[in-house]
Amino acid sequence: RTEVFDKMNNALVKKPMTLYDIPEALSKSEVSRAQLQRLMDEDETLPILLQEGRADKVIRRFKQAHLAEQEEQNSEELVNPVQRLQGQVFTGVDTLERVKLDEDLPEVPEISGLTEALSDAIT
């Protein structure tokens, strides 16, 4: 009986099957546009994964994302901690002061009845 429990405890955990094994050295190397396009033409899953059919559009999208990320990091470095805290406080105050529309307010029957009675009394 202990053998069964030992087998259960020592059983290998089944992991999802890896579709692509990428060596570490290749993950740090650059791929040219022509190489990427060739890979996309040969492997029909790459255009689906990358959501593009052309390599130049993929490269442009990733470069724009990288540049936006760098700009965000640079802007965060330029803002001192006091200004960052002020921004967080002002954002919190804005959310608290935001005026709720009538659509957002719950319907209270007593208040509605009182409002109609006052309106009828005035007219």
Domain annotation covers residue 88: yes
Domain annotation covers residue 98: no
Domain annotation covers residue 87: yes
Are 94 and 71 spatial neighbours (Cβ–Cβ below 8 Å)? no
CA 46 to chain centre: 22
Write out the residue range of the structural domain in which residue 47 sits: 2-93
Domain annotation covers residue 113: no
Number of domains in the chain: 1
pLDDT surpassing 80 at residue 114: yes
At residue 110, what is the residue type?
E
Q: Please state the rounded mean pLDDT for residues 81-94.
A: 79
Domain annotation covers residue 101: no
Are 47 and 53 spatial neighbours (Cβ–Cβ below 8 Å)? yes
Domain annotation covers residue 74: yes
- Express each pLDDT in 26-39 by its tens digit: 777 888 899 999 98
Are 47 and 40 spatial neighbours (Cβ–Cβ below 8 Å)? yes
Domain annotation covers residue 41: yes
pTM over 0.75: no
Domain annotation covers residue 103: no
